[in-house]
Chains A and B, each alone.
Chain A
Amino acid sequence: MRPVIPYVTAALLFGLGVYGVLRRRNAVLVLMAVELMLNAVNLVLVTADTTVKAVLPHSGQVFALFVIVLAAAEIGVGLAIVLQLYRLRASVTVDDVPLDEPAPAVAVAPGGLPTPEAPGTEGAVR
């Protein structure tokens, strides 16, 4: 088995993932490109398991399993964030996300105490 073949495959897949993350505007497509990068890392780990003689056997495959679990957790939280973004803005375009919006603007809506007053009262009590 020539290990250079899966290694080069993994390198090209990682490059494609980087390209997709930087190029895509749709948040779901960005997550798909992240999955490509994670899979490239998995392929490197599994291939390294065959080429590197480690103290513990099959360490690379165990790490690949860990990365798969991490990717599952990442995709769950990531999709929750994407769906919340769609509920707030009716679009999942990552370019349109305002990064400097004040956070209390969301909390004012329910109709209780307006959040901006909270720091003021706290300061008055002290």
Chain B
Amino acid sequence: MTGADVLLLALGAVAVGAGALVVATRHLVRAGLWLVVCLGALAGDYLVLTAELVAWVQVLIYVGAVVVLLLFAVMLTRAPIGPSDDLDRPGWAAALVGAGSGLGLAVLLIDAFRWSRVDLPAAGTAERLGEQLFRSWVLPFEVLSVLLLAALVGAIVLSRPDIGRRSTDTSAAQPADEGRRP
């Protein structure tokens, strides 16, 4: 057990504990705040695994943007401040499937790696990752930018009911025009 192992164990325990609270707490807002703890512990895991750029992107995008968006959604849907009883549906099926997939994957990975040890590779700094990103992975990178644009436009169209209404009118009018032409 080296220092990195101890850090990974501690951060992993924090991440799993906070993740369990995210899916188990009865306070809506606290679920979002426990998600911050879980994602922060994972960012620490990435740092220990020498993925510096991924760790900071995780802090920026997940903790900074995604969780804030989720908390906005919690507030915009008029979530109650206190504990709410109707957050969960009853049933052991969810626990069975969740524990089955989680423990099954854990057993699979433990069987694959045992207690082996590897040396940490060169750190994934922004320079090295950017070199890979813009040399070998340029096409997926550009496709992702198109996907982000599509998601942006889609979110705007979804949240503006008047845009959707106009588009249904035009789509209803277009087939009639096509029918008249022949």
Please tell me which one of the listed residues A1, A70, A75, A125 contacts residue B69 in the complex, with CB atoms under 8 A apart.
Answer: A75
B129 touches A62 (CB 8 A): yes
Residues on A with beta carbons closer than 8 Å to the beta carbon of B9? 5
Mask of A112-126 contacts with B, CB within 8 angstroms, 1/0: 110100100110011
Write the nearest CB–CB distance from A11 to chain B, whole angstroms: 4
Pick the contact of A77 from B73, B124, B155, B168 — CB < 8 Å? B155
List which B12-41 residues lie within 8 A (CB) of chain A. 12, 15-16, 19-20, 22-23, 28, 31-32, 35, 38-39
**Contact in complex: B5, A25 (CB < 8 Å):** no
Known contacts A11-B105, A19-B97: does B76 contact A1 (CB below 8 Å)?
Answer: no
Q: How large is the interface on A (under 10, 10 to 19, 20 to 34, 35 or more residues)?
A: 35 or more
Smallest CB separation, A106 vs chain B (Å): 8
A18 adjacent to B97 (CB under 8 Å): yes
**Across the interface, which residues of B come within 8 angstroms of A46, CB to CB?**
45-46, 49, 51, 54
Interface of B is mostly: helix
A110 to B141, CA, bound (A): 41
Query: Chain A binding site: helix, strand, loop or mixed by DSSP?
Result: helix
Tell me the A4-26 residues at the B interface (CB within 8 Å).
4-20, 22-26
Q: Are B45 and A6 in contact (CB under 8 A)?
A: yes
Q: Which of B99-129 contact A (CB under 8 A)?
A: 99-103, 105-106, 108-110, 113-122, 124, 128-129
Interface pair B155/A80, CB less than 8 Å apart: yes
Say whether B159 contacts A72, CB under 8 Å. no
- Write the chain A residue with the least CB distance to B182: A126
**Contact partners of A25 in chain B: CB under 8 A:** 86-89
- B179 touching A33 by the CB < 8 A rule? no
The yes or no answer to A107 lying at the interface (CB within 8 A) is yes
Contact check, A15 vs B151: say whether CB atoms are below 8 A apart.
no
Inside 8 A of B70's CB, which chain A residues have their CB? 28, 31-32, 35, 75, 79
Q: Max chain A CB contacts within 10 Å: which of B66, B95, B97, B115?
A: B66
Contact B154 A77 (CB under 8 A): yes
**CB atoms of A15 and B98 under 8 A apart:** yes
Cβ distance A86 to chain B, nearest Cβ, rounded Å: 5
Residue of B nearest to A95 (CB): B89
Chain B hits for A73, CB < 8 A: 147-148, 151
A44-71 contacts to B, CB under 8 A, are: 46-47, 49-51, 56-59, 61-62, 64-66, 68-71
A sample of 7 inter-chain contacts (CB < 8 A) reads A6-B45, A11-B106, A28-B74, A32-B70, A33-B23, A36-B38, A47-B49
Given A14-B101, A29-B87, 4 new contacts (CB under 8 A)? A6-B8, A43-B42, A57-B128, A72-B65
